[in-house]
């Protein structure tokens, strides 16, 4: 089966909103072995949307729209798809009741105009329950073609995709033969060119394919196989994965959606060790990334965002003379921050970041992008200097990424020269 | 002039990478009054890319490609566009020299294969300097059509867009008449339906248009005007902005790309007040958002991510009896955290978040999504209960958003009933 994805919204077309939904939908389709050749974006314009829907329904078996299901006048997607497919909309009484209850709880004495159109479903097809918002989704069915409407807010779309849309198409495609499976190997500490040089013979094959992608502070290698069944596809991928791992070694830190913070939290849990963070120019991002992982509270109890000299002294016990002598952005202060947060938290490991994220604050000797990382443990403390390119948020992100990479390295290879105590 | 944007990369098509670049490019084109009717995504497939380029070059004056400029075998965009336009590529000797220098600094004894193709530029057209990466961009010119190649990494693409591509097209379009200008009004504390009810007569107009968009925890109203000049467009927008502000009042917190954290930092700076944060389920996100704003160090010196009862007691002076009696997720602990971080930091305001982000940890009485916020100042302390829907990261984001909204509300309307001391 072939699908097209159409994102609807002038704010998307003009770039005022980032489209994360289309990626989530594409991933879900891929998981079900459904091919995608076109993805597109169209504004809140009824005629253009109708034209794009007609074209997509000619080219593909499934057309998934994203956005335009809300209660306002320019939410037009469901109505337009109904018109293009010539399938009437009917009201789902259970959802009307749900919306009415919600209005009561909010103390509304009347509903905004058009509000109840959110309960419309296709006469031929079905509604898609939405537990996190007010608009029902819809699956239209006509002559072997499927039109699927999903709402724009990601916290509504993603559960609807996983709970209703994926199972629906898994059932529809189960009679079909081609399945596409991908495995992403996530790599930190080796550049894209080097990665490619080591695996370039594998990149010449067509099944499975191997392709590198440069990410912020890391590289991904995607291995994709096509076969009759999931098992056959995985059987093509497995030896390729093994070969890549053998060539690249322990720079491979995870697979698929396993983030670097997931790898770090997992390693800490396996080793029954804890970490605490002292952050200056990363502003809380290391703590945020660690606490994004469920159950991270087992390995993480304290992060300190010390954005002033005073807070570095008071909460991290950084000596004021160090600050005066070397400046807050220095090897010495990075080490003192790491030791300080480790002692304050009573954790096994302390990690710190201090740097100049910009746009101001840079100097000839310490330009914007200058970052020092510190790592303290029971056997010592080290610091590292980095010079990152980019803007304020890039520097902050690269600093957090490098700090997490440093913690990971320490957990898997504590005997490396990196972790010999700094002089 | 009309432009199309084509994002290139199988990882984009299959949703393994979120396309933030296409939005940045679309914004830049809009700023120059260039219309966009199509945006699309294609995989790393030479034939399909060539076909899409040909179609786009028929429909539009400008085709901007994103991605596929790197040093690897499946980076094909520049070569393919050169072939489609029948414009040869030539080597930029200055860039070859720059890459050679870079290799020396990195201690490379030889370059990876294909590395130097990153220095290729069109024989008819020009290269686009890239200060943050190794691949030059390119502007191809042929018979009034322009093909622009930009690299995928956002920290490379965005400066190239602003420094070279925008000025180039500003010059090309300066002879033309139609300019599109947009203004986004950012709203917090009023739902999309209510916003629309208040402005729906304005939404019926076609120039300027007014359209609402629901965002995570806020609503945006976009006002878009088309006119002969920037000044004429702004003259259409200004009275519409004034009318909306009058109808909505102080729920409008900012315009365009001014985030809620920008509004909070600005208000703090204007009032010469400081804030400190104590975060549990938001994991550092409030601190991160505040410190994303340049010069926020003037109003923010300390954030504490207290992810354990011990750290709440030790760093925020939360009484262990409160934790035992009410639990860490409670009105009482939220207030104690806000007071504690205010005292610890010596700041004017303390704000706190404690909640259950999930997926585990929920109970009948306090389900996942239960969040308490605290706010402490010299005149008192209050707390708020929220029940958010969604997953772990949604809860964390909504909690941070609500906390920033609470600080803003306090700064603009401290006499509201919300800020009467909790019993």
CA dist list (Å): A194 to A252, A420, B110, B239: 13, 27, 11, 57
Nearest residue, CB atoms, A287 vs list B41, B184, B284: B284
Which string of b and e fits B252-266 if b means at least 16 CB within 10 Å? bbbeeeebbbbbbbb
Distance from CA of B124 to the nearest CA of A (A): 29
- Nearest by CB to residue A203, choosing from B73, B222, B291, is B73
Selected for mutation to probe chain A from B14, B131, B292, B358 (highest A CB count within 10 Å) is: B14
Specify whether A102 is located in the same domain as A157: yes
- With contacts defined as CB-CB under 8 Å, which chain A residues touch B400? none
Tell me which residue in B153, B192, B358 faces A214 most closely, judged by beta carbons.
Answer: B153
Q: What percent of chain A has pLDDT over 70?
A: 98
Whether B178 shows a pLDDT value over 90: the answer reads no
pLDDT tens digits, residue range B322-345?
Answer: 999 999 999 999 999 999 999 999
Q: Are residues A115 and A162 in the same domain?
A: yes
pLDDT in tens, B22-44: 999 998 898 787 889 889 999 88
B190 and B76 in a single domain? The answer is no
CB atoms within 10 A of CB B300: 28
Per-residue confidence (pLDDT) for residue A422, from 0 to 100: 57
User: Residue A31: what pLDDT?
Assistant: 75
A283 and A409 inside one domain: yes
- Give one DSSP letter per residue of B233-280, joined into a string: HHHHHHHHHHHHHHHHGGGEEEETT--HHHHHHHHHHHHT--EEEEES
Supply the CATH number for residue A279's domain: 3.90.950.20
Would you say residue B422 has pLDDT above 80?
no
For residue B40, what is the nearest residue in chain A, using CA coordinates?
Answer: A40
Q: Is the pLDDT of residue A361 over 60?
A: yes
Region B132-157: mean pLDDT is 94
To the nearest whole number, what is the mean pLDDT of chain B? Answer: 92
Report CA-CA distances (Å) from B177 to A84, A291, A354, B168, B408. Answer: 35, 52, 49, 17, 41
The β-bridge relationship of strands B179-187 and B252-255 is: antiparallel
Give the chain B residue whose CA is nearest to the CA of A392: B292
The secondary structure of A98-113 as a DSSP string is HHHHHHHHTT-SSPPT
A122-129: average pLDDT: 96
Domain termination site, one of A223, A255, A287 = A255
- The two tokens of residue A423 are 């002089």
Question: What does the CA dihedral B13, B19, B22, B25 come to, rounded to 10 degrees?
Answer: -150
- pLDDT for position B402: 97
Q: Would the CB atoms of A304 and B303 count as touching at under 8 Å?
A: yes
* CB half-sphere exposure, A230, CA atoms < 13 A: 6
Task: Please name the helix (run of DSSP H) or strand (run of DSSP E) that holds residue A126, with its range, or none.
Answer: strand A125-128
Residue A184, helix vs strand vs coil: strand
Question: Which of A151, A173, A195 is the C-terminal boundary of a domain?
Answer: A173
User: What angle, 0 to 180 degrees and rounded to 10, lies between the N-to-C axes of helices A309-316 and B331-345?
Assistant: 110
Give the Cβ contact number of residue A113 at 10 Å: 14
Give, rounded to a whole angstrom, the gap between the first and last alpha carbons of chain A. 62
pLDDT value for B383: 97
CB contact under 8 A, B14 and A24: no
Nearest to B112 among A20, A196, A277 (CB): A196
Same domain, A222 and A305: no
Residues B276 and B209 in one domain: no
Minimal Cα distance from B12: which residue of A?
A: A23
* Mean pLDDT of all residues in A249-276: 97
CATH of the domain at A244: 3.30.70.2860
> For residue A175, what pLDDT is reported?
63
What is the rounded CA–CA span in Å between residue A25 and residue A381?
A: 45
Pair A97, A121 in one domain: yes
Summarize pLDDT for B269-286 with one digit per residue, the tens: 999 999 999 999 999 999
For A301, phi then psi, to 5°, come to -120, -20
Domain boundary among B109, B142, B173: B173
Dist. CA B243–CA B241, nearest whole Å: 5
CATH number, domain containing residue A33: 3.40.980.10
- Mean pLDDT (whole number) for A277-306: 97
Q: What integer pLDDT is reported at residue A77 of this predicted model? A: 96
Whether the predicted pLDDT of B61 surpasses 90: yes
Residue of A nearest to B29 (CA): A14
| Spatial contact of B19 and B5, defined as CB atoms under 8 Å apart | no
Angstrom distance (rounded) from CA A151 to CA B337: 37
Task: Check whether residue A251 and residue A266 sit in a common domain.
Answer: no
Higher pLDDT, A239 or A109: A239
Residue among B13, B216, B310 minimizing CB distance to A301: B310
Q: Is the pLDDT of residue A188 over 90?
A: yes
* Tens of pLDDT, residues A57-104: 998 999 999 999 988 888 999 999 999 999 999 999 999 999 998 888
pLDDT (0 to 100) of residue A37: 86
A53 sits in which H/E element: helix A46-59
| Residue B208 buriedness (CB in 10 A; 0-12 / 13-18 / 19+) | buried
- Give the mean pLDDT of chain A: 92
Q: Which two tokens stand for residue A217?
A: 């502070």
Q: Give B83 or B71, the one with higher predicted confidence.
A: B83
Q: What is the pLDDT of residue B62?
A: 96
The total number of structural domains in chain A stands at: 3
Chain A CB contacts of B18 below 8 Å: 18-20, 23
One domain for residues B248 and B268: no
Contact at CB, A36 and B13, closer than 8 angstroms: yes
More confident residue, B253 or A257: B253
Percentage of chain A modeled with pLDDT above 90: 70
**Residue B152: closest CA among chain A residues belongs to which residue?**
A214
The secondary structure of residue B19, as a DSSP letter, is B
pLDDT for residue A161 is more than 80: yes
Among A102-106, A362-366, B129-133, B245-249, the minimum mean pLDDT is found in A102-106
Rounded CA separation A371/A330 (Å) = 8
Residue B29 sits in the same domain as residue B166: yes
> From the CB of residue B295, how many other CB atoms can be counted at a distance below 10 Å?
12
Chain B residues within 8 A of A294 when measuring between CB atoms: 358-360, 392
* B93 and B189 housed in the same domain: no
What's the pLDDT at B31? 75
Give the per-residue pLDDT at B37. 86
pLDDT, one tens digit per residue, over B364-416 is: 999 999 999 999 999 999 999 999 988 899 999 999 999 999 999 999 999 99
For B283-307, write each residue's pLDDT tens digit: 999 999 999 999 999 999 999 999 9
B175: pLDDT strictly greater than 70: no
Residues A146 and A272 in one domain: no
E-state strands within B82-164:
89-91, 120-122, 125-128, 137-142, 145-150
Domain that holds residue A384: 260-419
């Amino acid at each position: 089966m072939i699908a097209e994805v159409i994102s609807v919204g002038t704010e998307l077309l003009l770039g005022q909103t980032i489209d994360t939904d289309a990626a989530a939908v594409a991933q879900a389709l891929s998981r079900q072995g459904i091919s995608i050749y076109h993805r597109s974006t169209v504004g809140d314009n009824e005629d253009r949307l109708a034209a794009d829907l007609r074209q997509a329904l000619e080219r593909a078996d499934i057309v998934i729209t994203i956005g335009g299901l809300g209660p306002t006048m320019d939410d037009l997607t469901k109505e337009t798809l109904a018109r293009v497919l010539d399938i009437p909309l009917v009201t789902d009484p259970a959802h009307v009741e749900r919306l009415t209850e919600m209005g009561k709880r909010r103390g509304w004495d009347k509903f905004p105009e058009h509000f109840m159109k959110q309960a419309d479903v296709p006469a031929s097809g079905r509604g898609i329950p939405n537990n996190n918002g007010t608009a029902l989704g819809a699956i239209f069915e006509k002559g072997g073609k499927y039109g699927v409407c999903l709402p724009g807010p990601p916290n509504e779309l993603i559960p609807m995709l996983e709970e209703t849309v994926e199972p629906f198409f898994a059932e529809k495609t189960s009679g079909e033969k081609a399945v596409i499976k991908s495995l992403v190997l996530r790599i930190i500490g080796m550049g894209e060119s080097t990665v490619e040089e080591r695996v370039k013979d594998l990149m010449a094959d067509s099944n499975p394919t191997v392709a590198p992608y440069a990410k912020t502070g890391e590289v991904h290698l995607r291995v994709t196989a096509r076969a009759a069944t999931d098992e056959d596809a995985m059987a093509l991928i497995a030896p390729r994965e093994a070969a890549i791992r053998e060539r690249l070694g322990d720079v491979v830190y995870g697979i698929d959606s396993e983030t670097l913070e997931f790898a770090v939290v997992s390693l800490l849990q396996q080793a029954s060790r804890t970490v605490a963070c002292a952050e200056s120019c990363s502003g809380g991002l290391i703590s945020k990334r660690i606490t994004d992982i469920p159950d991270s509270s087992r390995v993480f109890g304290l992060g300190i965002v010390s954005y002033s000299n005073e807070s570095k002294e008071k909460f991290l016990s950084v000596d004021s003379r160090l600050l005066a002598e070397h400046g807050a952005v220095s090897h010495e202060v990075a080490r003192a921050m790491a030791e300080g947060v480790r002692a304050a938290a009573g954790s096994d490991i302390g990690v710190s970041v201090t740097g100049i994220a910009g746009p101001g604050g840079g100097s000839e000797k310490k330009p914007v992008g200058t970052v020092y990382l510190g790592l303290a443990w029971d056997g010592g403390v080290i610091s590292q200097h980095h010079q990152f390119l980019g803007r304020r948020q890039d520097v902050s992100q690269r600093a957090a990424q490098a700090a997490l990479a440093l913690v990971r390295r320490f957990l898997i290879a504590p005997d490396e020269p990196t972790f010999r105590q700094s002089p």
